[in-house]
Amino acid sequence: MPRSPELKKRPLPPIQTFTGRIEDDPSHHLTGPFRPQTPFGQDSVPSSPGTPVWVNGHPLSPWSTQSHGFWTDIKTLRWVIVPTSSLKIILFFVVLWANWELVSPYVAKDIPNPFSPLLFISHRITSSPDDEPRYQKGYLDFAFLAYYIVFWSFVRQAITIYLCRPIARWFGIKKRAKLDRFGEQGYAVIYFAFTATWGMRIMSQLPTWWYNTKYFWIDYPHWDMKPELKAYYLMQAAYWCQQLIVLLLGLEKPRKDYYELVAHHFVTLWLVGWSYVVNLTLIGNAVYLSMDLPDSFLGFSKLLNYIQWDKTKVATFAVFIGVWSYFRHWLNWVILYSVLFEFDLMPESSKRWSPEDGVWMVWWMKSQVFAPLALLQALNLFWYFLIWRIAARAVTDVGVSDVRSDDEDDSEDDVVDDKED
């Protein structure tokens, strides 16, 4: 008896390489700018991820940004993705600081405000002049870091939900995954454009302008920082800590490039923390700038892709490749070269291990500085390979619109209910 068509064995899917899977994965953080999107308004059968939580009679996704109650959000760390809860934490300490400022002149005139280290940088060098103050690192920096992890949690979610999501809906985007991704990239554009501009402003005031790398080492240790440089460094550290918390705790829907992003965040925090501790903030500022500027172009090209501005997207992508090539590769190689061949420009008195004097650059520390920078460049080269491979496929497949992967991704989405905003 002949077998019915329904019972015929389906052919096995072709085996794909790891990089091939990433290229075909529309949720990967690099592929978005290079893939066609599904037409606006297409709906599919909703399927909420995970086991829903019921709030006020409505099912709530585990990755919903709706509060479960302030104290519940505190205990479960959901304040990281619930903007109303993170805002309450921020305002609580602002109120405490303001009340101390108002009351202390009458009851504790000579006692410094204990909440100031949360909101403002600490450890000013008392001998520095008022018109040009300098700061050093210290344990109170952890208080500032903790507070601004909460601050960036609020800013990220406020921009994503209250700014980017309405813009995405205006362009006709309805699916949860695409709304989330649009918000992520919108926040990335704003954040990285801001920090790139800030980092460039700071570098313009330093002898290292524009990647004059010999001054990474001349006059080391650079332990006394301008207030703007210290604030910039700690704010960046808070941002990357906040991003890592979201990933590690699974507070958002996990993506297929999860491990790659976790590795990138760990390397970045390694660079941030190590350079801050050993008084290499000038080289840290240069690395930050080389990362932030191309990331803003990457996020912008993805936004154009989501709203289907194809011609503008192509032009932006071309600019993005140029910016990425220069900042993420050429300038990073310049920095690596400096570590290998300009390291000895530092004073002989600094080539010793003496943390109490602010010097750490004993001979073997060269490898400790070089290692995280080389690992970062390895990650950049991996992504660079993917970028060019995807770009080559986009050129050869021009005019072909294969949206099957996007459709499959959409099948796992549901249309966001305004009640969850």
Query: Higher pLDDT residue, 66 or 48?
Result: 66
pLDDT band at 147 (very low <50, low <70, confident <90, very high): very high
- Asked whether the predicted pLDDT for residue 53 surpasses 50, the reply is yes
Identify the top-confidence range among 10-14, 91-95, 373-377, 391-395. 91-95
The pTM score is 0.81
Across 404-418, average pLDDT: 45
Contacts of 126 (CB under 8 A, 6+ apart): none
Query: Higher pLDDT residue, 409 or 61?
Result: 61
- Asked whether the predicted pLDDT for residue 403 surpasses 90, the reply is no
- Asked whether the predicted pLDDT for residue 88 surpasses 80, the reply is yes
Q: What is the pLDDT of residues 412-421, one digit of tens each?
A: 445 555 444 5
Query: Higher pLDDT residue, 108 or 60?
Result: 108
Across 389-403, average pLDDT: 59
8 A C-beta contact, residue 49 and residue 27: no
Across 73-90, average pLDDT: 93
- Asked whether the predicted pLDDT for residue 31 surpasses 60, the reply is no
d(CA 364, CA 112): 42
Please report the pLDDT score of residue 154 as a whole number.
Answer: 97
Q: Which residue is it, tokens 């073997």?
A: 364
pLDDT band at 63 (very low <50, low <70, confident <90, very high): low
- Strand 58-60 versus strand 53-55 pairing type: antiparallel
Across 240-259, average pLDDT: 78
d(CA 95, CA 71): 19
Q: Which residue is it, tokens 């600490």?
A: 122
8 A C-beta contact, residue 28 and residue 257: yes
Please report the pLDDT score of residue 18 as a whole number.
Answer: 41
CA angle 78, 80, 82 (to 5 degrees): 65
Please report the pLDDT score of residue 17 as a whole number.
Answer: 43
- Asked whether the predicted pLDDT for residue 89 surpasses 70, the reply is yes
State which amino acid sits at residue 273: G
pLDDT band at 390 (very low <50, low <70, confident <90, very high): confident
Contacts of 11 (CB under 8 A, 6+ apart): none
Contacts of 414 (CB under 8 A, 6+ apart): 46, 47, 48, 175, 176
* 58 DSSP β-pair partners: 55
Please report the pLDDT score of residue 198 as a whole number.
Answer: 97
- Asked whether the predicted pLDDT for residue 309 surpasses 50, the reply is yes
Please report the pLDDT score of residue 406 as a whole number.
Answer: 40
- Asked whether the predicted pLDDT for residue 103 surpasses 60, the reply is yes
pLDDT band at 397 (very low <50, low <70, confident <90, very high): low
- Asked whether the predicted pLDDT for residue 43 surpasses 70, the reply is no
- Asked whether the predicted pLDDT for residue 37 surpasses 80, the reply is no
Token pair for 367: 């490898």
Query: Higher pLDDT residue, 175 or 342?
Result: 342
Please report the pLDDT score of residue 48 as a whole number.
Answer: 35
Across 191-211, average pLDDT: 96
- Asked whether the predicted pLDDT for residue 221 surpasses 60, the reply is yes
d(CA 352, CA 361): 6
pLDDT band at 61 (very low <50, low <70, confident <90, very high): low
3-state SS track over the chain: CCCCHHHCCCCCCCCCCHHHHHHCCCCCCCCHHHCCCCCCCCCCCCCCCCCCEEECCEEECCCCCCCCCHHHHHHCCHHHCCHHHHHHHHHHHHHHHHHHHHHHHHHCCCCCCCCHHHHCCCCECCCCCCCCCCECCCCCHHHHHHHHHHHHHHHHHHHHHHHHHHHHHHCCCCEHHHHHHHHHHHHHHHHHHHHHHHHHHHHHCCCCCCCCHHHHCCCCCCCCECHHHHHHHHHHHHHHHHHHHHHHCCCCCCCCCHHHHHHHHHHHHHHHHHHHHCCCHHHHHHHHHHHHHHHHHHHHHHHHHHCCCHHHHHHHHHHHHHHHHHHHHHHHHHHHHHHHHCHHHCCHHHCCCEHHHCECCCCCHHHHHHHHHHHHHHHHHHHHHHHHHHHHHHHHCCCCCCCHHHHHHHCCCCECCHHHC
- Asked whether the predicted pLDDT for residue 9 surpasses 70, the reply is no
Please report the pLDDT score of residue 357 as a whole number.
Answer: 87
Query: Higher pLDDT residue, 73 or 10?
Result: 73
Please report the pLDDT score of residue 219 as a whole number.
Answer: 92
Mean pLDDT of the chain: 81
